[in-house]
Amino acid sequence: MPVREISIHNAPPRLRLDRRAIAVAIARLDAQAGRFRGGCPPGELSIAFLTDPALAALHASFLDDPTTTDVITFEGNPALGVAGEVCVSADTAAAYAAAHGRDFSAELTLYVVHGWLHLAGYDDLRPQKKRLMRAAEKRAMALLHDAGAEPVFQLRPARKPA
């Protein structure tokens, strides 16, 4: 399978990420696409790391829901060489990880995996489909862990007002 082009946008000024590590993780998922309904469609994949307000604005614009959310996925057009776009909130990942004693990096990786799985055809709006999505998430996260392909994300501490 050819290596796909991946476009990564990092909006939160405090978020530190390794673009190469993210590309390696996506390549690992792509290489195991058969385990995930054929995987994400071919073409360029865009991954946007956003703040809560930015993702809430997208949520309002495209889904008529102004609340914050963790992941929004936009399908692309493989015929035009576009797989889709995965938009994730670094703020929501940080808050959820802190509130639930989870590792921030693992939580944000899960959000990227979740979006990739949406592009692969998984849905989580109904209980039965949500169970299938959660099982696929576990398989994908284990695959990345076992391959040593989990990207590392870091949040720099917030600046204190002077």
- DSSP for the chain, written as a single string: -PPPPEEEEE--TTEE--HHHHHHHHHHHHHTGGGTTT-SPSSEEEEEEE-HHHHHHHHHHHHS--S--SEEEEEEEGGGTEEEEEEEEHHHHHHHHHHHT--HHHHHHHHHHHHHHHHTT---SSHHHHHHHHHHHHHHHHHHHHTT-----EEPPPPPP-
Binding residues for Zn(2+): 114, 118, 124
Binding residues: 114, 118, 124
